[in-house]
Structure 1
Amino acid sequence: MNIGLIYFSATNNTETIGKIIKHEIEAIESSVKVFLINITPYSTRNNHLNLAKCEKFIFGFPVYGWRVPNVVREWLKTLEGKGRECAMFFTYGGINSGVVHYDTYKILNENDFKVLSSAEFIASHTYNLGGWNILENRPNEEDFEIARQYSRSILKQFQESNPILFQIKPHEYSDKTLERIENNPKRMVKIPRWTAECDVCGVCNNLCPTNAIDAENQIIKDEKCIRCLSCVFNCPESVLKVDDLTRLYKMALKVEHLTEKEINNRKSKIF
């Protein structure tokens, strides 16, 4: 059995969980091969991916404003499931996973994938790069164990001749509300900036999910940038920075009606 594990991971959280799932599945069943397919770079999503060899799929994405990034949603809509089975998992920084399970399920289901299961994993918040201090040591071993459990569950479902399909109730939020939530980072967080001379290595250009960066001229296109902070996280010289975001932390807690204790008690879970 060939499984395509397709993931988007700007700051390595989703990739970390994906690698654990791959390792666990292949350790259990030597005849199964899991192919890691990283669609984070703009160039990967805009070149043809030959997925014909994949009999099953696992999709892993981060939560950006209650849903997976719009660039991922639009890319998913181009896929043809052809009745193939799949599982989903998501990573988020403890604030709110929102409607991500239903929203992604709906896209995959409409594209003729048979969704069997879903899970979510707690991870260090991306805005820790801007001064937040949320779940800095996550995912941890407890999260990894949930990932291993989920791997075993996925494999068992993929091996069944007639597995039970994933079911989830639709949410009641309007498109307008979801768009407002998704656009909050762009309204409140300024684009990253260069704080020193760089040697134009091109890492930020190559990894940017939206082709928003011109490193040679030190330009980031505001309208394209999704504030994933991949460029800040991956800059080998640490010259790309984001402004201090600590002022937004208490605002986020207030808007989501959360306390620090509730965030710190978040658990990864299988649905």
Structure 2
Amino acid sequence: MKIAVLYFSATGNTKKMADVIESALAELGAQVEKFDVTVPAGRKEPMDFSVYDGVIFGAPIHSMRAPRVLREWLQTLNGQGKKAAMYFTYGGFHVHPCHYSTREILATAGFTVVASAEFLGAHTFNRGGWQAVPQRPDASDYAAAKDYAAAVYARFSGKDGGVLGELEKTDMNEEFLDAIEGFRFKALTQLPTRNGKECSLCMACQEQCPSGAMDAEKGEADPALCIACLGCLDVCPEDALEINDMSGVFAQRMEMEKSTPQDLNKKQSKIYL
């Protein structure tokens, strides 16, 4: 059986799970091909899914949905009736309606979605002072990823003929969800910038920016394009980029959610069948 794993991973969490899933599927006898669709170049060429028995899509959750640039790209695909599975990584906060909304996009694109999952991973805003599941994914999350791979393999192979069941929906329309997505920039008030500092201009921040927002020579992100993933901070070998301190926003979020960092870390990865 031949399976494609496509993942969007600006800061590495989703790739970590893709690697575990790939290994688990290979142990079950599948031939796996991975595609990194994080940067625009990875989403440029048309995808032909005719040679695959199933396709797995992995992404982080940004404000209760898959990242905007990924959602837009998924809508351009031709699923050709292929079986598909989804998985998401998130930093301990709200998950839904990401499963439902992404399943709807894939179904409209011609895929039959048979499984989904969510895995804990350190929140990208930890780079600005948050304390949201900083040690995740851990052994429990990797174990869940292996179980997910086994379940997906069974459904792709036909041993388990099921498809993905009911998912939590939402009364929020797309315009309202877009507004919620904008709240990311209420926390991240200073987009990544060198703030006038010199660097070696290795270009990593620009080349690995998922939305094409980062200009390495200017040393700043375009606010019209930035999706607040902070992948540029992650790949900079010189720690030359800066953002604002968001620790106060995290404290407010904890108070609003009536939660603590310890409560967030008690959450467990979950599989949906």
Task: Identify the TM-score tier after normalising by the shorter chain.
Answer: over 0.9
TM superposition shift of 1:257? 4.2
Residue by residue over 1:143-171, the C-alpha shift from the partner in whole angstroms, topping out at 9 and shown as x without a partner, is 10011111111111111167211122432
For residue 203 of structure 2, what is the amino acid of its counterpart?
G
Correspondence 1:1-271 to 2 at 5 A: 1-29=1-29, 32-160=30-158, 163-169=161-167, 170-189=169-188, 190-195=190-195, 196-271=197-272
For residue 129 of structure 1, what is the amino acid of its counterpart?
R
For residue 62 of structure 1, what is the amino acid of its counterpart?
P
How many angstroms apart in 2 are the aligned matches of 1:256 and 1:110?
Answer: 34
The share of aligned pairs that are identical, in percent, is: 33
Give the TM-score normalised by the residue count of structure 2. Answer: 0.94
For residue 86 of structure 1, what is the amino acid of its counterpart?
A
Alignment CA distance shift 1:93-1:230 (3 Å): same
* CA RMSD in angstroms, aligned pairs only: 1.6
Is the Cα contact below 8 Å between 2:49 and 2:79 reproduced in 1? no
How many angstroms apart in 2 are the aligned matches of 1:91 and 1:244?
Answer: 23
SS in 1 for 2:183: helix
TM superposition shift of 1:191? 0.6
For residue 107 of structure 2, what is the amino acid of its counterpart?
N
TM superposition shift of 1:204? 0.8
Is the Cα contact below 8 Å between 2:47 and 2:77 reproduced in 1? no
Is the Cα contact below 8 Å between 1:92 and 1:120 reproduced in 2? yes
Q: Which moved further from structure 2: 127-136 or 83-92?
A: 127-136
Unaligned runs of 5+ in 1: none
After superposing on structure 2, the runs of 4+ consecutive aligned residues of structure 1 that deviate more than 4 Å are none
Count of paired positions? 269
How many angstroms apart in 1 are the aligned matches of 2:8 and 2:200?
Answer: 27
SS in 2 for 1:58: strand
Is the Cα contact below 8 Å between 1:85 and 1:116 reproduced in 2? yes
Give the TM-score normalised by the residue count of structure 1. Answer: 0.94
